[in-house]
């Protein structure tokens, strides 16, 4: 075996070992404690339980009149609506910012970049939502998630747009296509790789969001999956076995989604990096 191949093999082995400790060991820790009794789980050890308690998952599902199922419904609606809004708004904004180079467009781009650095103000946002009668509503929460994820998503689309030849648009313009038809008939179908990237990154972020639904969508009927963790963590005692079972259940959907689209994430992220 020559030296480059040997070095590549060694790097692969080291990377695999690192990935095991970074991802698999924590997941194993959560799973093991999710099938323990309450007394064993409170020790927070990685040892295999003396008796398996898979009924913990049933208890989590039926807790508070099947609140977890309601939370899955709320999180799914929030994630789907937010991601659709982000794809529509960000793709159009990224296209304009990439293709136009005048001063107003550059100023807008700087404002978008500021959105990546300036956090949301909680109390003014709540006050604004209340005045607009959108506080504690799913529509208001969707608008919040879109606003928070919009700067990053626009930058992703802008970087990918650089890999699409301008000549395609020029040829379509000569054939008499309007700007709207150029975007929807020519540009949008070419954005499938970055659509997949945005779908995964934004869906995982929104689905796993804990802070924003806590502030902007309070109420038991509005609970999202992350907020159900409150059911098992108390000031004086905690049901760690049920807590970890809940974590496993709410982690699986996004884990499956990530495994299905992980190759497309890399393709969308690096596309346009040379020209961009």
pLDDT digits (tens, 9 = 90+) for 133-192: 999 999 999 999 999 999 999 999 998 888 888 888 888 888 888 888 888 888 988 888
Contacts of 132 (CB under 8 A, 6+ apart): 140
**Whether the predicted pLDDT of 1 surpasses 60:** no
Over the range 197-222, which residues count as b (16 or more CB within 10 Å of their CB) and which as e?
bbbbbbbbbbbebeebbebbbeeeeb
Instruction: List, in order, residues 6 or more apart from 251 with CB less than 8 Å away.
Output: 27
More confident residue, 133 or 235: 133
Q: What is the pLDDT of residue 231?
A: 80
Residue 140 has what pLDDT? 95
pLDDT over threshold 80, residue 259: no
State the pLDDT at residue 200: 87
Contact, 75 vs 207, CB < 8 A?
yes
Helix (H, G, I), strand (E, B) or coil at 163: coil
pTM of the model: 0.84
User: Options 3.40.50.2000, 3.40.50.9100, 1.20.5.440, 1.10.3720.10; which CATH number does 56-270 get?
Assistant: 1.10.3720.10
Q: How many CB atoms lie within 10 A of CB 34?
A: 24
Give the orientation angle of helix 240-270 with respect to helix 138-161, to 10 degrees: 30
**In the prediction, which pLDDT does 141 show?**
96
Distance separating alpha carbons of residues 141 and 210, to the nearest angstrom? 12
pLDDT-derived band at 3, boundaries 50, 70, 90: low
Residue 148 neighbours by CB under 8 Å, 6+ apart: 120, 212
Q: How many whole angstroms separate alpha carbon 254 and alpha carbon 204? A: 6
| Average confidence (pLDDT) over 30-36 | 93
Using the predicted structure, report yes or no on whether residue 276 has a pLDDT greater than 50. Answer: no
More confident: 182 or 263: 182
Give the pLDDT of residue 50. Answer: 86
Question: Are the C-beta atoms of residues 30 and 244 closer than 8 Å to each other?
Answer: yes
Tokens of residue 190, six digits: 């070419």
Angle between helices 122-131 and 138-161 (to 10 degrees): 120
Contacts of 80 (CB under 8 A, 6+ apart): none
For the chain, the helix, strand and coil percentages under 3-state DSSP, each to the nearest 5:
80, 0, 20
Q: Give the pLDDT score at 274.
A: 45
- pLDDT range class, residue 235, cuts 50, 70, 90: low
What's residue 128's pLDDT?
A: 92
Average pLDDT over residues 52-60: 93
Cα separation of 146 and 151, whole Å? Answer: 9
pLDDT at 57: 94
């Amino acid at each position: 075996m020559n030296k480059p191949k040997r070095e590549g093999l060694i790097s692969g082995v080291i990377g695999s070992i690192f990935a095991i400790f970074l991802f698999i060991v924590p997941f194993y820790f959560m799973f093991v404690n999710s099938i323990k009794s309450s007394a064993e789980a409170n020790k927070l050890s990685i040892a295999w339980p003396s008796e398996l308690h898979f009924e913990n998952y049933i208890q989590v599902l039926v807790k508070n009149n099947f609140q977890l199922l309601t939370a899955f419904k709320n999180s799914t609606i929030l994630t789907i609506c937010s991601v659709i809004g982000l794809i529509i708004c960000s793709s159009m904004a990224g296209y304009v910012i990439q293709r136009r180079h005048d001063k107003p467009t550059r100023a807008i781009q700087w404002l978008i970049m500021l959105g990546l650095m300036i956090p949301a103000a909680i109390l003014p946002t709540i006050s604004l939502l209340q005045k607009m009668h959108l506080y504690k509503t799913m529509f208001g929460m969707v608008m919040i998630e879109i606003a928070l994820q919009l700067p990053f998503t626009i930058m992703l689309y802008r970087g990918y747009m650089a890999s699409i030849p301008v000549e395609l648009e020029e040829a379509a313009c000569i054939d008499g296509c309007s700007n709207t038809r150029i975007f929807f008939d020519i540009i949008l179908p070419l954005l499938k790789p970055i659509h997949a990237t945005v779908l995964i990154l934004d869906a995982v972020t929104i689905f796993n969001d804990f802070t924003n639904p806590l502030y902007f969508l309070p109420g038991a009927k509005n609970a999202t999956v992350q907020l159900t963790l409150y059911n098992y963590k108390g000031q004086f005692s905690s049901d760690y076995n049920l807590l970890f079972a809940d974590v496993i259940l709410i982690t699986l959907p996004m884990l499956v989604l990530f495994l299905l689209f992980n190759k497309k994430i890399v393709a969308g992220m690096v596309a346009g990096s040379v020209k961009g």
